[in-house]
Structure 1
């Protein structure tokens, strides 16, 4: 067994991350899927990876921020209220709004573009806990970046955005 830079065994890391994140909330993923489809006209598809035991929702967008022509948001939501919303586009730019325990970081944090690094992270402008409110806030911040053609200021908002 080898250890990564945080001293976590690579062999045990996936199960440890799963235990920290918690089991997936399929009902929340379905609710989030409906909100994306209702609220964002650029959603092409919003699909669960497994209809019976979903672990992730993938939302395909027909446009991205700036010069990106397509984008995707992958969403995980746990029964313990942890979540991860990861944006990626065809220009290989990424950001994430997350809520989960992370050493030396706020529970609700933001991984900034263009590469959403593991460290450093920023405190997230989204501090509401409900799946529907987090989804609306993420969509509002994404729509802001899309309309401005830049990621600048994507995490700069009053809560809830």
Structure 2
């Protein structure tokens, strides 16, 4: 359903997050030859979180899963993949990113660099405001 992972897209996303987000400490692929996940370690998190991580998967079919987690145990996800009884592009809200219910995602762009910029923009919005309030309320970021 999700499809095979697009290693080239993960490498492109890795380079983009390193260049775009100053709080990135490290962005690494789980396997350099056959990556499945890109993990982005952030030196700070939203509100009281001392650090955070964003895990990204991207498929050859253009499906993606972007999962934020922090030291306070809070999670959210922006996803694009077929899901029964949910829109293809959907958002799993904080604090625990439940499987259900989900919301339609504010991110409607499709290309990996644009989706990456939108994710970084929404994370930066929450970080700057010190709150997850309004995280999924933007109109077609970036």
* TM-score after normalising by structure 1: 0.88
Distance (Å, rounded) in 2 between the aligned partners of 1:149 and 1:35: 24
Root-mean-square deviation (CA), in Å?
A: 0.4
Distance (Å, rounded) in 2 between the aligned partners of 1:144 and 1:67: 15
The answer to whether residue 35 in structure 2 is matched with residue 54 in structure 1 is yes
| Structure-2 residue corresponding to 1:136 | 117
Gaps (5+ residues) in structure 1?
1-19
Deviation at 1:160, TM superposition (A): 2.5
| Structure-1 residue corresponding to 2:23 | 42
Moved segments of 4+, more than 6 Å: none
| Structure-1 residue corresponding to 2:92 | 111
Gaps (5+ residues) in structure 2?
none
Deviation at 1:49, TM superposition (A): 0.2
Distance (Å, rounded) in 1 between the aligned partners of 2:108 and 2:38: 21
Q: How does 1:87-126 map to 2 (within 5 A)?
A: 87-126=68-107
Distance (Å, rounded) in 2 between the aligned partners of 1:122 and 1:38: 30
